[in-house]
A and B are shown apart, each in its own frame.
Chain A
Amino acid sequence: MNELFAVLPAPIRTLLNSLPAAVRDNLEEVRLRQNQAIEIRYGQQASYVTASGQLTSNSRLGWVFTEENRQKLINQISQHSLYAFEEELKRGYITVVGGHRIGIAGRIVMEHGEVKGIREITSFNIRIAREKKGVAGKVLPYLCDAPGKGICNTLVISPPQCGKTTLLRDLARMLSYGSEWAASRKVAIVDERSELAGCLHGVPQRDVGPRTDVLDACPKAVGIMMLIRSMSPDVIIADEIGRSEDGEAVWEAIHAGVSIVCSAHGNDLLEVAQRPMLGKLIQHGAFHRYVVLSRANGAGTIQGIYDKNLKRLERAQVAW
Protein backbone atom coordinates (compact mmCIF):
# COMPACT_ATOMS: atom_id res chain seq x y z
CA MET A 1 0.00 0.00 0.00
CA ASN A 2 2.98 2.30 0.49
CA GLU A 3 3.59 2.42 -3.23
CA LEU A 4 0.03 3.63 -3.68
CA PHE A 5 0.41 6.27 -0.97
CA ALA A 6 3.51 7.54 -2.77
CA VAL A 7 1.47 8.73 -5.76
CA LEU A 8 -0.97 10.68 -3.58
CA PRO A 9 -0.41 14.40 -2.88
CA ALA A 10 1.13 15.03 0.55
CA PRO A 11 -2.04 16.27 2.35
CA ILE A 12 -3.99 13.13 1.38
CA ARG A 13 -1.08 10.89 2.25
CA THR A 14 -0.76 12.37 5.76
CA LEU A 15 -4.51 12.16 6.19
CA LEU A 16 -4.64 8.47 5.33
CA ASN A 17 -1.57 7.73 7.42
CA SER A 18 -3.22 9.29 10.47
CA LEU A 19 -6.24 6.96 10.24
CA PRO A 20 -6.59 4.36 13.01
CA ALA A 21 -4.56 1.28 12.07
CA ALA A 22 -7.63 -0.98 12.04
CA VAL A 23 -9.30 1.24 9.46
CA ARG A 24 -6.21 1.80 7.37
CA ASP A 25 -5.47 -1.90 7.07
CA ASN A 26 -8.99 -2.62 5.86
CA LEU A 27 -9.19 0.30 3.47
CA GLU A 28 -10.97 -0.68 0.24
CA GLU A 29 -11.70 2.60 -1.48
CA VAL A 30 -10.72 6.23 -1.17
CA ARG A 31 -13.14 8.50 -2.98
CA LEU A 32 -12.15 12.02 -3.92
CA ARG A 33 -14.47 14.55 -5.53
CA GLN A 34 -13.46 18.10 -6.20
CA ASN A 35 -14.73 20.55 -3.54
CA GLN A 36 -16.27 17.68 -1.58
CA ALA A 37 -15.16 15.89 1.57
CA ILE A 38 -12.89 12.87 1.22
CA GLU A 39 -14.76 9.60 1.63
CA ILE A 40 -13.27 6.25 2.55
CA ARG A 41 -14.75 2.77 2.49
CA TYR A 42 -13.40 0.05 4.72
CA GLY A 43 -14.89 -3.32 5.55
CA GLN A 44 -18.61 -2.77 4.94
CA GLN A 45 -18.63 0.83 6.11
CA ALA A 46 -18.21 4.24 4.55
CA SER A 47 -17.13 7.40 6.29
CA TYR A 48 -15.77 10.90 5.77
CA VAL A 49 -12.43 11.87 7.26
CA THR A 50 -11.66 15.16 9.03
CA ALA A 51 -8.44 17.09 8.54
CA SER A 52 -6.98 15.49 11.67
CA GLY A 53 -7.72 11.94 10.52
CA GLN A 54 -10.88 11.36 12.58
CA LEU A 55 -13.78 9.46 11.06
CA THR A 56 -17.03 11.38 10.78
CA SER A 57 -20.44 10.90 9.23
CA ASN A 58 -20.96 14.62 8.74
CA SER A 59 -19.79 15.60 5.28
CA ARG A 60 -19.33 19.23 6.37
CA LEU A 61 -16.62 18.28 8.86
CA GLY A 62 -14.64 16.29 6.31
CA TRP A 63 -11.38 17.41 4.74
CA VAL A 64 -12.15 19.01 1.39
CA PHE A 65 -10.43 17.88 -1.82
CA THR A 66 -9.37 21.13 -3.47
CA GLU A 67 -8.69 22.07 -7.07
CA GLU A 68 -4.97 22.31 -6.30
CA ASN A 69 -4.80 18.79 -4.91
CA ARG A 70 -6.85 17.50 -7.79
CA GLN A 71 -4.29 18.88 -10.24
CA LYS A 72 -1.43 17.34 -8.25
CA LEU A 73 -3.16 13.97 -8.08
CA ILE A 74 -3.69 13.96 -11.85
CA ASN A 75 -0.05 14.93 -12.42
CA GLN A 76 1.15 12.13 -10.18
CA ILE A 77 -1.03 9.32 -11.46
CA SER A 78 -0.37 10.25 -15.08
CA GLN A 79 3.36 10.77 -14.46
CA HIS A 80 2.94 14.32 -15.79
CA SER A 81 1.90 12.86 -19.15
CA LEU A 82 -1.86 12.66 -19.58
CA TYR A 83 -1.47 11.94 -23.30
CA ALA A 84 0.17 8.60 -22.53
CA PHE A 85 -3.02 7.42 -20.83
CA GLU A 86 -5.55 8.07 -23.57
CA GLU A 87 -6.59 4.41 -23.80
CA GLU A 88 -7.00 4.21 -20.04
CA LEU A 89 -8.95 7.46 -19.94
CA LYS A 90 -11.32 6.09 -22.56
CA ARG A 91 -11.98 3.11 -20.34
CA GLY A 92 -12.36 5.30 -17.28
CA TYR A 93 -9.55 4.18 -15.01
CA ILE A 94 -5.79 4.19 -14.62
CA THR A 95 -3.78 1.39 -13.05
CA VAL A 96 -0.85 2.54 -10.90
CA VAL A 97 2.18 0.83 -9.35
CA GLY A 98 1.13 -2.20 -7.35
CA GLY A 99 -1.89 -2.90 -9.52
CA HIS A 100 -4.22 -0.49 -7.71
CA ARG A 101 -6.89 0.96 -9.90
CA ILE A 102 -8.03 4.56 -9.90
CA GLY A 103 -11.45 5.10 -11.45
CA ILE A 104 -12.12 8.55 -12.84
CA ALA A 105 -15.07 10.67 -13.91
CA GLY A 106 -15.32 14.12 -15.38
CA ARG A 107 -16.39 15.73 -18.63
CA ILE A 108 -16.48 13.24 -21.49
CA VAL A 109 -15.26 14.26 -24.93
CA MET A 110 -17.04 12.53 -27.81
CA GLU A 111 -15.89 11.99 -31.35
CA HIS A 112 -17.87 10.20 -34.07
CA GLY A 113 -20.29 8.97 -31.45
CA GLU A 114 -17.56 7.33 -29.40
CA VAL A 115 -15.93 8.33 -26.15
CA LYS A 116 -12.61 9.94 -27.02
CA GLY A 117 -11.42 10.71 -23.55
CA ILE A 118 -12.14 12.51 -20.32
CA ARG A 119 -11.25 16.16 -19.77
CA GLU A 120 -11.53 18.01 -16.49
CA ILE A 121 -11.31 14.93 -14.34
CA THR A 122 -12.96 15.78 -11.04
CA SER A 123 -13.89 12.48 -9.37
CA PHE A 124 -11.49 9.75 -8.34
CA ASN A 125 -12.18 6.35 -6.89
CA ILE A 126 -8.97 4.81 -5.63
CA ARG A 127 -9.54 1.06 -5.27
CA ILE A 128 -6.97 -0.67 -3.18
CA ALA A 129 -6.00 -4.00 -4.66
CA ARG A 130 -5.34 -6.67 -2.10
CA GLU A 131 -3.33 -9.78 -2.51
CA LYS A 132 -4.80 -12.54 -0.39
CA LYS A 133 -2.61 -15.55 -0.77
CA GLY A 134 -4.25 -18.86 -0.20
CA VAL A 135 -7.85 -17.83 -0.90
CA ALA A 136 -7.96 -20.16 -3.88
CA GLY A 137 -7.18 -23.12 -1.62
CA LYS A 138 -10.88 -23.46 -0.78
CA VAL A 139 -11.90 -23.61 -4.43
CA LEU A 140 -9.03 -25.39 -6.10
CA PRO A 141 -9.87 -28.95 -4.88
CA TYR A 142 -13.20 -28.68 -6.69
CA LEU A 143 -11.64 -27.60 -9.95
CA CYS A 144 -9.54 -30.72 -10.43
CA ASP A 145 -11.70 -33.43 -11.96
CA ALA A 146 -9.50 -36.43 -11.50
CA PRO A 147 -5.84 -36.94 -10.70
CA GLY A 148 -3.66 -36.50 -13.76
CA LYS A 149 -6.38 -34.73 -15.66
CA GLY A 150 -6.52 -31.02 -16.41
CA ILE A 151 -8.19 -28.21 -14.58
CA CYS A 152 -11.93 -27.84 -15.24
CA ASN A 153 -13.06 -24.93 -17.36
CA THR A 154 -14.37 -22.60 -14.71
CA LEU A 155 -16.54 -19.52 -14.57
CA VAL A 156 -16.35 -17.36 -11.45
CA ILE A 157 -19.57 -15.40 -10.95
CA SER A 158 -19.76 -12.49 -8.58
CA PRO A 159 -21.16 -8.99 -8.14
CA PRO A 160 -18.57 -6.18 -8.11
CA GLN A 161 -16.35 -5.91 -5.03
CA CYS A 162 -16.72 -9.51 -3.92
CA GLY A 163 -13.20 -10.58 -4.65
CA LYS A 164 -13.34 -12.28 -8.02
CA THR A 165 -10.13 -10.66 -9.22
CA THR A 166 -8.44 -11.64 -5.97
CA LEU A 167 -9.63 -15.22 -6.41
CA LEU A 168 -8.48 -15.44 -10.03
CA ARG A 169 -5.08 -14.01 -9.16
CA ASP A 170 -4.58 -16.55 -6.41
CA LEU A 171 -5.77 -19.37 -8.65
CA ALA A 172 -3.13 -18.32 -11.17
CA ARG A 173 -0.51 -18.31 -8.45
CA MET A 174 -1.48 -21.72 -7.01
CA LEU A 175 -1.75 -23.37 -10.41
CA SER A 176 1.60 -21.95 -11.43
CA TYR A 177 3.46 -22.98 -8.27
CA GLY A 178 1.59 -26.25 -7.99
CA SER A 179 -0.18 -27.48 -4.85
CA GLU A 180 -1.34 -30.67 -3.20
CA TRP A 181 -4.44 -30.73 -5.45
CA ALA A 182 -2.92 -29.81 -8.77
CA ALA A 183 0.59 -30.17 -10.12
CA SER A 184 2.40 -27.06 -11.32
CA ARG A 185 1.49 -26.06 -14.86
CA LYS A 186 1.97 -23.32 -17.44
CA VAL A 187 -0.44 -20.48 -16.81
CA ALA A 188 -1.19 -17.58 -19.12
CA ILE A 189 -3.12 -14.49 -18.07
CA VAL A 190 -4.92 -12.08 -20.38
CA ASP A 191 -4.92 -8.99 -18.23
CA GLU A 192 -7.02 -6.53 -20.17
CA ARG A 193 -7.23 -4.05 -17.32
CA SER A 194 -3.85 -4.67 -15.70
CA GLU A 195 -5.66 -5.71 -12.56
CA LEU A 196 -4.83 -9.38 -12.20
CA ALA A 197 -1.07 -9.17 -12.39
CA GLY A 198 -0.81 -5.40 -11.89
CA CYS A 199 1.90 -5.06 -14.52
CA LEU A 200 4.19 -2.04 -14.58
CA HIS A 201 6.26 -1.79 -17.77
CA GLY A 202 5.26 -5.36 -18.51
CA VAL A 203 6.49 -6.90 -15.25
CA PRO A 204 3.86 -8.34 -12.88
CA GLN A 205 3.81 -6.46 -9.57
CA ARG A 206 1.85 -9.20 -7.83
CA ASP A 207 2.88 -12.76 -7.24
CA VAL A 208 1.22 -14.74 -10.02
CA GLY A 209 3.68 -17.61 -9.91
CA PRO A 210 6.91 -18.62 -11.64
CA ARG A 211 5.33 -20.30 -14.67
CA THR A 212 2.94 -17.53 -15.57
CA ASP A 213 2.97 -15.44 -18.74
CA VAL A 214 1.02 -12.22 -18.75
CA LEU A 215 -0.42 -10.47 -21.78
CA ASP A 216 -0.84 -7.02 -20.31
CA ALA A 217 -3.54 -4.55 -21.41
CA CYS A 218 -4.64 -6.88 -24.22
CA PRO A 219 -8.29 -7.25 -25.25
CA LYS A 220 -9.43 -10.67 -24.02
CA ALA A 221 -10.70 -12.15 -27.27
CA VAL A 222 -7.52 -11.32 -29.18
CA GLY A 223 -5.34 -12.18 -26.21
CA ILE A 224 -6.78 -15.66 -25.72
CA MET A 225 -6.16 -16.50 -29.38
CA MET A 226 -2.64 -15.08 -29.28
CA LEU A 227 -1.76 -17.10 -26.19
CA ILE A 228 -3.04 -20.37 -27.64
CA ARG A 229 -0.92 -19.84 -30.73
CA SER A 230 2.25 -18.55 -29.15
CA MET A 231 2.62 -19.60 -25.52
CA SER A 232 1.18 -23.16 -25.39
CA PRO A 233 -0.43 -22.63 -21.97
CA ASP A 234 -2.14 -25.33 -19.93
CA VAL A 235 -4.51 -22.87 -18.34
CA ILE A 236 -5.65 -19.45 -19.54
CA ILE A 237 -7.01 -16.99 -17.00
CA ALA A 238 -9.08 -13.97 -18.00
CA ASP A 239 -11.09 -11.45 -16.02
CA GLU A 240 -14.65 -10.35 -16.74
CA ILE A 241 -15.70 -11.85 -20.03
CA GLY A 242 -18.92 -10.49 -21.48
CA ARG A 243 -18.69 -9.44 -25.11
CA SER A 244 -19.67 -11.87 -27.83
CA GLU A 245 -16.16 -12.09 -29.25
CA ASP A 246 -14.92 -13.10 -25.79
CA GLY A 247 -17.36 -16.03 -25.92
CA GLU A 248 -16.02 -17.18 -29.28
CA ALA A 249 -12.45 -17.02 -27.98
CA VAL A 250 -13.39 -19.06 -24.88
CA TRP A 251 -15.10 -21.61 -27.11
CA GLU A 252 -12.01 -21.75 -29.31
CA ALA A 253 -9.70 -22.24 -26.32
CA ILE A 254 -11.78 -25.07 -24.89
CA HIS A 255 -11.58 -26.92 -28.18
CA ALA A 256 -7.86 -26.27 -28.43
CA GLY A 257 -7.31 -28.38 -25.34
CA VAL A 258 -6.56 -25.48 -23.06
CA SER A 259 -8.38 -25.10 -19.74
CA ILE A 260 -9.90 -21.72 -19.18
CA VAL A 261 -10.70 -19.97 -15.94
CA CYS A 262 -12.58 -16.69 -16.24
CA SER A 263 -15.01 -14.49 -14.37
CA ALA A 264 -18.22 -12.63 -15.10
CA HIS A 265 -20.32 -10.02 -13.31
CA GLY A 266 -23.58 -11.33 -11.88
CA ASN A 267 -25.40 -12.11 -8.66
CA ASP A 268 -25.99 -15.80 -9.31
CA LEU A 269 -25.99 -18.50 -11.95
CA LEU A 270 -29.52 -17.76 -13.08
CA GLU A 271 -28.78 -14.14 -13.77
CA VAL A 272 -25.63 -14.94 -15.72
CA ALA A 273 -27.41 -17.64 -17.73
CA GLN A 274 -29.77 -14.96 -19.06
CA ARG A 275 -27.00 -12.96 -20.65
CA PRO A 276 -26.81 -13.71 -24.39
CA MET A 277 -23.22 -14.82 -24.81
CA LEU A 278 -22.70 -16.43 -21.40
CA GLY A 279 -26.09 -18.15 -21.55
CA LYS A 280 -25.08 -19.83 -24.78
CA LEU A 281 -21.77 -20.99 -23.35
CA ILE A 282 -23.52 -22.39 -20.29
CA GLN A 283 -26.15 -24.13 -22.42
CA HIS A 284 -23.51 -25.80 -24.52
CA GLY A 285 -21.73 -26.97 -21.41
CA ALA A 286 -18.57 -25.00 -22.04
CA PHE A 287 -17.84 -24.71 -18.34
CA HIS A 288 -17.50 -27.65 -16.00
CA ARG A 289 -17.42 -25.65 -12.79
CA TYR A 290 -19.15 -22.48 -11.60
CA VAL A 291 -17.97 -20.64 -8.53
CA VAL A 292 -20.42 -18.08 -7.14
CA LEU A 293 -19.16 -15.39 -4.77
CA SER A 294 -20.99 -12.89 -2.60
CA ARG A 295 -20.44 -10.48 0.25
CA ALA A 296 -22.67 -12.36 2.70
CA ASN A 297 -19.84 -12.90 5.18
CA GLY A 298 -17.52 -10.20 3.91
CA ALA A 299 -15.87 -9.96 0.52
CA GLY A 300 -15.01 -13.34 -0.92
CA THR A 301 -17.76 -15.46 0.61
CA ILE A 302 -18.12 -18.60 -1.49
CA GLN A 303 -21.85 -18.98 -2.06
CA GLY A 304 -21.51 -22.22 -3.87
CA ILE A 305 -19.65 -24.29 -6.39
CA TYR A 306 -21.66 -25.94 -9.16
CA ASP A 307 -20.78 -28.58 -11.72
CA LYS A 308 -21.48 -28.82 -15.45
CA ASN A 309 -25.15 -29.71 -14.86
CA LEU A 310 -25.53 -26.80 -12.46
CA LYS A 311 -25.64 -29.18 -9.50
CA ARG A 312 -24.28 -27.80 -6.26
CA LEU A 313 -21.05 -29.39 -5.08
CA GLU A 314 -20.53 -27.63 -1.80
CA ARG A 315 -22.67 -26.03 0.82
CA ALA A 316 -20.05 -24.19 2.79
CA GLN A 317 -20.50 -20.48 3.21
CA VAL A 318 -17.10 -19.64 4.54
CA ALA A 319 -15.48 -16.23 4.42
CA TRP A 320 -11.78 -16.01 3.72
Chain B
Amino acid sequence: MVKLIGCILVLFSASMVGWQLGRRYANRSSQLRALLLALQMLETEIVFGLTPLNRAFVKIGQRVPREIGNLFQTAAELLQTARELSTQACLQAAIDKHWPQTALRKDERDVLSSLAFVLGSSDVEDQQKHLRLAITHLHALEEEARVEQGKYEKMYKSLGFLGGLLVVILMY
Protein backbone atom coordinates (compact mmCIF):
# COMPACT_ATOMS: atom_id res chain seq x y z
CA MET B 1 0.00 0.00 0.00
CA VAL B 2 2.74 2.43 1.06
CA LYS B 3 4.69 1.40 -2.01
CA LEU B 4 1.76 2.20 -4.24
CA ILE B 5 1.34 5.67 -2.71
CA GLY B 6 5.10 6.24 -3.16
CA CYS B 7 4.84 5.24 -6.81
CA ILE B 8 1.95 7.61 -7.42
CA LEU B 9 3.87 10.43 -5.71
CA VAL B 10 6.99 9.82 -7.80
CA LEU B 11 4.96 9.61 -11.01
CA PHE B 12 3.03 12.75 -10.13
CA SER B 13 6.06 14.88 -9.24
CA ALA B 14 8.02 13.74 -12.27
CA SER B 15 5.10 14.66 -14.53
CA MET B 16 4.86 18.02 -12.82
CA VAL B 17 8.56 18.76 -13.40
CA GLY B 18 8.12 17.86 -17.06
CA TRP B 19 4.99 19.95 -17.29
CA GLN B 20 6.75 22.95 -15.73
CA LEU B 21 9.67 22.70 -18.15
CA GLY B 22 7.23 22.44 -21.02
CA ARG B 23 5.25 25.44 -19.78
CA ARG B 24 8.26 27.69 -20.11
CA TYR B 25 8.05 27.29 -23.87
CA ALA B 26 4.36 28.08 -23.95
CA ASN B 27 4.86 31.08 -21.61
CA ARG B 28 7.68 32.45 -23.68
CA SER B 29 5.65 32.56 -26.83
CA SER B 30 2.55 33.97 -25.12
CA GLN B 31 4.62 36.67 -23.40
CA LEU B 32 6.33 37.45 -26.66
CA ARG B 33 2.93 38.01 -28.22
CA ALA B 34 1.99 40.28 -25.31
CA LEU B 35 5.21 42.23 -25.79
CA LEU B 36 4.50 42.59 -29.50
CA LEU B 37 1.02 43.83 -28.73
CA ALA B 38 2.47 46.31 -26.23
CA LEU B 39 4.95 47.70 -28.75
CA GLN B 40 2.26 48.00 -31.39
CA MET B 41 0.13 49.93 -28.92
CA LEU B 42 3.12 52.12 -28.12
CA GLU B 43 3.56 52.83 -31.82
CA THR B 44 -0.07 53.93 -32.08
CA GLU B 45 0.21 56.12 -28.99
CA ILE B 46 3.37 57.78 -30.27
CA VAL B 47 2.46 58.19 -33.92
CA PHE B 48 -1.23 59.06 -33.68
CA GLY B 49 -1.71 60.22 -30.09
CA LEU B 50 1.63 62.00 -29.50
CA THR B 51 1.15 60.75 -25.93
CA PRO B 52 4.14 61.30 -23.63
CA LEU B 53 5.92 58.05 -22.76
CA ASN B 54 4.85 57.85 -19.12
CA ARG B 55 1.16 58.16 -19.92
CA ALA B 56 1.43 55.75 -22.85
CA PHE B 57 3.17 53.22 -20.60
CA VAL B 58 0.43 53.44 -17.95
CA LYS B 59 -2.23 52.77 -20.60
CA ILE B 60 -0.31 49.84 -22.04
CA GLY B 61 0.46 48.44 -18.59
CA GLN B 62 -3.22 48.19 -17.84
CA ARG B 63 -4.09 46.42 -21.06
CA VAL B 64 -1.50 43.71 -21.59
CA PRO B 65 -1.00 40.54 -19.43
CA ARG B 66 0.53 41.10 -16.03
CA GLU B 67 4.12 39.86 -16.55
CA ILE B 68 4.67 42.34 -19.36
CA GLY B 69 2.27 44.97 -18.00
CA ASN B 70 4.22 45.29 -14.75
CA LEU B 71 7.32 46.18 -16.69
CA PHE B 72 5.55 49.09 -18.37
CA GLN B 73 3.94 50.23 -15.13
CA THR B 74 7.31 50.36 -13.37
CA ALA B 75 8.85 52.21 -16.30
CA ALA B 76 6.02 54.77 -16.18
CA GLU B 77 6.53 55.29 -12.44
CA LEU B 78 10.26 55.75 -12.86
CA LEU B 79 9.83 58.23 -15.71
CA GLN B 80 7.45 60.21 -13.55
CA THR B 81 9.38 60.18 -10.28
CA ALA B 82 13.10 59.49 -10.86
CA ARG B 83 14.10 62.99 -11.91
CA GLU B 84 17.81 62.35 -11.98
CA LEU B 85 17.68 59.31 -14.26
CA SER B 86 17.86 59.56 -18.03
CA THR B 87 15.09 58.04 -20.12
CA GLN B 88 17.30 55.09 -21.02
CA ALA B 89 18.23 54.45 -17.38
CA CYS B 90 14.56 54.49 -16.31
CA LEU B 91 13.60 51.95 -18.97
CA GLN B 92 16.61 49.76 -18.31
CA ALA B 93 15.89 49.73 -14.57
CA ALA B 94 12.32 48.58 -15.25
CA ILE B 95 13.56 45.83 -17.57
CA ASP B 96 16.13 44.66 -15.03
CA LYS B 97 13.55 44.57 -12.26
CA HIS B 98 10.91 42.54 -14.04
CA TRP B 99 12.93 40.32 -16.34
CA PRO B 100 13.38 37.41 -13.86
CA GLN B 101 9.59 37.10 -13.60
CA THR B 102 9.15 36.57 -17.32
CA ALA B 103 9.87 33.52 -19.42
CA LEU B 104 11.68 35.64 -21.97
CA ARG B 105 15.30 35.20 -22.99
CA LYS B 106 18.37 37.30 -23.60
CA ASP B 107 17.52 37.85 -27.27
CA GLU B 108 14.27 39.61 -26.40
CA ARG B 109 16.01 41.56 -23.68
CA ASP B 110 18.62 42.84 -26.14
CA VAL B 111 15.90 44.07 -28.46
CA LEU B 112 14.19 46.00 -25.64
CA SER B 113 17.46 47.38 -24.27
CA SER B 114 18.47 48.79 -27.63
CA LEU B 115 15.00 50.29 -28.00
CA ALA B 116 15.44 51.92 -24.58
CA PHE B 117 18.36 53.94 -25.96
CA VAL B 118 16.23 55.74 -28.55
CA LEU B 119 12.73 55.82 -27.08
CA GLY B 120 11.51 59.35 -26.53
CA SER B 121 14.63 61.04 -27.83
CA SER B 122 13.67 61.92 -31.39
CA ASP B 123 10.80 62.92 -33.67
CA VAL B 124 7.78 60.77 -34.52
CA GLU B 125 9.16 59.39 -37.78
CA ASP B 126 12.36 58.28 -36.17
CA GLN B 127 10.53 56.72 -33.23
CA GLN B 128 8.30 54.82 -35.60
CA LYS B 129 11.30 53.45 -37.49
CA HIS B 130 12.92 52.19 -34.31
CA LEU B 131 9.67 50.66 -33.04
CA ARG B 132 9.06 48.94 -36.36
CA LEU B 133 12.56 47.51 -36.26
CA ALA B 134 12.05 46.17 -32.73
CA ILE B 135 8.68 44.71 -33.72
CA THR B 136 10.22 42.94 -36.73
CA HIS B 137 12.92 41.46 -34.52
CA LEU B 138 10.40 40.28 -31.98
CA HIS B 139 8.23 38.79 -34.73
CA ALA B 140 11.17 36.65 -35.84
CA LEU B 141 11.81 35.62 -32.25
CA GLU B 142 8.15 34.80 -31.76
CA GLU B 143 8.21 32.58 -34.85
CA GLU B 144 11.22 30.80 -33.42
CA ALA B 145 9.55 30.48 -30.01
CA ARG B 146 6.49 28.94 -31.59
CA VAL B 147 8.53 26.33 -33.46
CA GLU B 148 10.38 25.52 -30.26
CA GLN B 149 7.14 25.29 -28.36
CA GLY B 150 5.78 22.78 -30.90
CA LYS B 151 8.97 20.77 -30.69
CA TYR B 152 9.76 20.77 -26.99
CA GLU B 153 6.62 21.47 -24.99
CA LYS B 154 5.08 18.04 -25.63
CA MET B 155 8.46 16.39 -25.42
CA TYR B 156 9.18 17.73 -21.91
CA LYS B 157 5.73 16.83 -20.74
CA SER B 158 5.98 13.23 -21.97
CA LEU B 159 9.58 13.04 -20.83
CA GLY B 160 8.55 13.96 -17.30
CA PHE B 161 5.84 11.35 -17.18
CA LEU B 162 7.94 8.66 -18.82
CA GLY B 163 10.92 9.45 -16.59
CA GLY B 164 8.66 9.03 -13.58
CA LEU B 165 7.40 5.78 -14.99
CA LEU B 166 10.96 4.54 -15.47
CA VAL B 167 11.84 5.29 -11.84
CA VAL B 168 8.69 3.52 -10.69
CA ILE B 169 9.43 0.45 -12.77
CA LEU B 170 13.02 0.34 -11.57
CA MET B 171 11.94 0.69 -7.96
CA TYR B 172 9.11 -1.80 -8.14
Binding site for B on A (CB under 8 A): 6, 9-10, 71-72, 75-76, 78-84, 86, 89, 116-117, 119
Residue B83 lies at the interface, judged by CB distance under 8 Å to chain A:
yes
**A83 and B87 contact, CB distance less than 8 A:** no
Residues of chain B within 8 A of A116, CB atoms compared? 123
Which residues in window 92-127 of B have CB below 8 A to A? Answer: 120-124, 126-127
Verify A83–B86 contact, CB threshold 8 A.
no
**Shortest CB–CB separation between residue A163 and chain B, in angstroms?**
32
Q: Is the interface of A mostly helix, strand, loop or mixed?
A: helix
- B residues within 8 A CB of A78? 120
B127 touching A10, Cβ below 8 Å = no
| Interface bracket on B | 10 to 19
Complex: A190 Cα to B125 Cα, angstroms: 30
Compute how far the CA of A83 lies from the CA of B86 in the bound complex, rounded to whole angstroms. Answer: 16
In the complex, which residues 31-66 of chain B have their Cβ closer than 8 Å to any Cβ of chain A?
46, 50-54
Closest 9 CB pairs of A and B: A81-B52, A80-B87, A79-B52, A80-B120, A81-B53, A84-B50, A83-B124, A81-B120, A80-B53
Contact B87 A75 (CB under 8 A): yes
Name the one of B46, B83, B124, B127 contacting A76, with C-beta atoms under 8 angstroms: B83
CB <8 Å contact, B124 and A75: no
| Cα distance A71–B117 in the bound complex, in angstroms | 13
Q: Which residue of B lies closest to A74 (CB)?
A: B121
A79 to B122, CA, bound (A): 12
In the complex, 17 of the A-B residue pairs with CB atoms within 8 angstroms, ordered by the A residue number, are A6-B83, A9-B83, A10-B84, A71-B86, A75-B87, A75-B120, A78-B120, A79-B52, A80-B52, A80-B53, A82-B120, A82-B122, A82-B123, A83-B126, A84-B51, A86-B50, A86-B123
B54 pairs with A79, CB closer than 8 A: yes
**Is B26's beta carbon under 8 Å from chain A?**
no
Residues of B within 8 A of A81 (CB): 46, 51-54, 120
The interface of chain B, by Cβ under 8 A from chain A, is 46, 50-54, 79, 83-84, 86-87, 90, 120-124, 126-127
Measured in the bound complex, the distance between the Cα atoms of B121 and A82 in whole Å is: 5
Contacts of B124 in A (CB 8 A): 83, 86
Chain B hits for A10, CB < 8 A? 83-84
Q: How far is the CA of A281 from the CA of B126 in the complex (A)?
A: 44
- Looking at the complex, which one of A9, A71, A83 makes contact with B123 (CB distance below 8 Å)? A83
Residues of B within 8 A of A89 (CB): 123
The smallest beta-carbon distance between A10 and chain B, in angstroms, is 6
A80 to B89, CA, bound (A): 11
Which residue of chain B has the shortest Cβ distance to A118 in the bound complex?
A: B123
Best-surrounded residue of A9, A72, A116 (most CB of chain B within 10 A): A72
Residues of A within 8 A of B127 (CB): 83
- Known contacts A79-B79, A83-B50; 8 additional CB pairs below 8 A are A75-B86, A80-B79, A80-B90, A82-B121, A83-B124, A83-B127, A84-B50, A116-B123
Chain A residues contacting B84 (CB-CB under 8 Å) are 9-10, 72
Q: Are B86 and A79 in contact (CB under 8 A)?
A: no
Closest residue on chain B to residue A117 by CB atoms: B123
Question: Is B83's CB under 8 angstroms from A84's CB?
Answer: no
Once the chains bind, are B53 and A79 in contact (CB under 8 Å)? Answer: yes
Who on chain A is nearest to B84 by CB?
Answer: A10
By a CB distance below 8 angstroms, the chain B residues around A71 are 86
Which residue of chain A has the shortest Cβ distance to B75 in the bound complex? Answer: A80
Contact status of A72 and B54, CB under 8 A, knowing A78-B120, A83-B120, A117-B123 = no
In the complex, what distance in Å separates the CA atom of A81 from the CA atom of B52? 5
Q: In this complex, what residue of B is CB-closest to A81?
A: B52
Residues on B with C-beta less than 8 A from A80 are: 52-54, 79, 87, 90, 120
Distance, CA A119 to CA B125, complexed state (A): 13
A294 to chain B, nearest CB (A): 40
Q: How far is the CA of A117 from the CA of B51 in the complex (A)?
A: 18
How long is the Cα–Cα vector from A78 to B86 in the complex, in angstroms? 12
Scoring B52, B54, B84 by chain A CB atoms within 10 A of each residue's CB, the highest score goes to B52
Q: How distant is the Cα of A186 from the Cα of B120 in the complex, in angstroms?
A: 40
